[in-house]
Amino acid sequence: MDQDPKERLLLPPRAATNGPHRRGKPAAPGGGGGGGGVTIDVHGLKKRGGGRRSWVRVDAATGAAEAVEVAKPALMRRLDLPARDLRLLDPLFVYPSAILGRERAVVCNLERIRCIITADEALVLRDPDADGGAAAEEAVRRYVDELQRRLVDRADDLPFEFIALEVALEAACSFLDAQAVELEAEAYPLLDELTAKISTLDLERARRLKSKLVALTRRVQKVNGLPLCFYCSY
């Protein structure tokens, strides 16, 4: 019997273990360098790199959304993706915005939206434990709501992948635009103060604002150059 695609993503319940697997032996007190070893929690390392992740799955046909737990190896097998592509979405690493067009999926890292898009579904990564977890969760919720709305109101034959990608790009641009507005609100009063009186404190604030503006400009330029790279590779 054919297995449902969603069921192939889910891991079976974890089997009970007898504790963390350890390599090597602890060094004896006062012992030399040759007899002892470094204790490594290999089980913990595997959990960190390839454990379950929480995703929101949006069905392309119905627009229905549900929370699922998906393992990295399962995604690699089902979507034929290399580990380096999924590493782009790992919250443990910091990567610039990128869109990778592969044969069976599109991998997107767009500011707070990290997702995998296929012809049948979109998997949006949830990471409530990351910095700004509440804001990241809100960004995921808004993305899913907007994607569902577009699917309901769809009046043309635009493929699901392009609809999901368009919503992700719009979400990233909205986030960057909001950050630019915040910088403007902080910069204009400071410039007025510097016009009236120059002080060391205000100059330091201006230097920090300039650094933030340069970093934001680079992120905007990175997102701005993404669509052409994607259409050329997909």
How would you class 9 by CB atoms within 10 Å of its CB: exposed for 0-12, middle for 13-18, buried for 19 or more? buried
What are the two backbone dihedrals, phi and then psi, of residue 23, each rounded to the nearest 5 degrees?
-105, 145
Write the pLDDT tens digit of every residue in 38-48.
443 333 333 44
Query: In 76-206, where do the E strands start and end?
Result: 98-101, 106-110, 113-117, 121-126
6 Cβ contact list (under 8 Å, min separation 6): 57, 68
- Are 11 and 73 in contact, with CB atoms under 8 Å apart? no
> What gap in Å lies between CA 45 and CA 3, rounded to an integer?
31
State pTM to two decimals.
Answer: 0.69
Mean pLDDT in residue range 79-94:
88
- Are 11 and 74 in contact, with CB atoms under 8 Å apart? yes
CATH numbers and ranges of domains, the chain: 42-232 (2.40.128.330)
Tokens of residue 25, six digits: 């032996």
Write the pLDDT tens digit of every residue in 125-172.
987 666 566 888 899 999 999 999 999 988 778 899 999 999 999 999
Higher per-residue pLDDT: 175 or 157: 175
Q: Is the pLDDT of residue 21 over 50?
A: no
Provide the percentage of residues in the chain whose pLDDT is more than 70.
72
Higher per-residue pLDDT: 224 or 65: 65
For 70-90, the DSSP string reads EEHHHHHHHHT--HHHHHTT-
Tokens of residue 41, six digits: 């929690």
